[in-house]
Amino acid sequence: MKRNILITGGAGFIGSHVVRLFVNKYHDYQIVNLDKLTYAGNLANLKDVENSGNYTFVRADIADLDDMRRIISQYKIDGIIHLAAESHVDRSIKDPFTFARTNVMGTLALLQAAKEYWESLPEKYDGKLFYHISTDEVYGALELTHPEGVAAPFTTKASSADDMAYGTEFFVETTKYNPHSPYSASKASSDHFVRAYHDTYGMPTLVTNCSNNYGPYQFPEKLIPLFINNIRHNKPLPVYGKGENVRDWLFVEDHARAIDLIFHKGNVAETYNIGGFNEWKNIDLIRVIISTVDRLLGNPAGHSERLITYVTDRLGHDMRYAIDSRKLQSELGWEPSLQFEEGIEKTVRWYLDNQEWLDNVTSGDYQHYYDDMYTAR
């Protein structure tokens, strides 16, 4: 069945993996990649598919309602996978207004433009879907305690819902929202708007909330690529507080597979949590990164441990996030494909093998190239 799919934020980290998967897998689909090309958007992430016949790139701002109306109508969009977002917590603390504009008003503009176009068609909402990708951070924070009630420190990671290394609870789809940062507050608001458009107008919508992603093409302000790059250049590795905050990590290609599955087989109006049952304390994760990078660079074991630098903790820093993705596993049969050790090895090797990409991103040269090539509407 031929479809016209709009993927927003498709030049970013997760978005580029979703675009690549859909372009390569669904040759009857026309994939329209819409991205504003802010600092986190890089078309070099999609060099391997940019000349594909079923791929089109459009540079635009999702918060521009008139542009969203034009694009959705022009390309006869019948499915939207919405990933475009400001996503770095530190940036949201410094500039919350940008996060509200993009994440809240941008999502609202997309919803309204899709609603107007789909309601103008004879079939209206039949065969249409607005799929909104969100974050586990909207749920707030979990306690960092062992099931027996003994305060952590634990260094083992959870591999299933019955093997919880860091606490007695996971986020489930019905967990009450309790965002603590401007970033998570903006994402929580956008989630509510998506559900409101279903409840009020009957728009077919889906929401997924995912844990921390890692893998190739991630902008190096995020922990894993930042630390790989800093080790390369013998720079300090800044660790918030004591490094005891816990996160659940998922390889980005596994997230893209989940998005594909949910887009095609998920139930309308449902929420699905996507996670890896793969919890790590930041400091333990950092030591795994150090060990892997040092080994692949030929450094002596522990060589880069000296670069660890503890810094003042982030404002409102949530202690623990952990996703329970059993609903997705039981209803749609999805599960992560990689063990974390395999995924981190694959990730480190990619960054070390693609140093030109990494250097272009950290220098900012890629932005000047795109500013010259494209004119934002």
| Alpha carbon distance 80, 72 (integer Å) | 9
Backbone angles phi, psi at 212, to 5 degrees: -60, 130
Backbone angles phi, psi at 240, to 5 degrees: -65, 135
Closest CA to 318 of 252, 248, 271: 248
Neighbouring C-beta atoms of residue 377, cutoff 10 Å: 12
Reading the block at residue 282, the tokens are: 């930041």
| Alpha carbon distance 251, 213 (integer Å) | 6
Neighbouring C-beta atoms of residue 360, cutoff 10 Å: 16
Residues with a known catalytic role = 136-137, 183
What spatial distance separates the first Cα and last Cα of the chain, rounded to whole Å? 32
Report CA dihedral (326, 331, 333, 335) to the nearest 10 degrees.
-20
Neighbouring C-beta atoms of residue 41, cutoff 10 Å: 23
Reading the block at residue 113, the tokens are: 């433009």
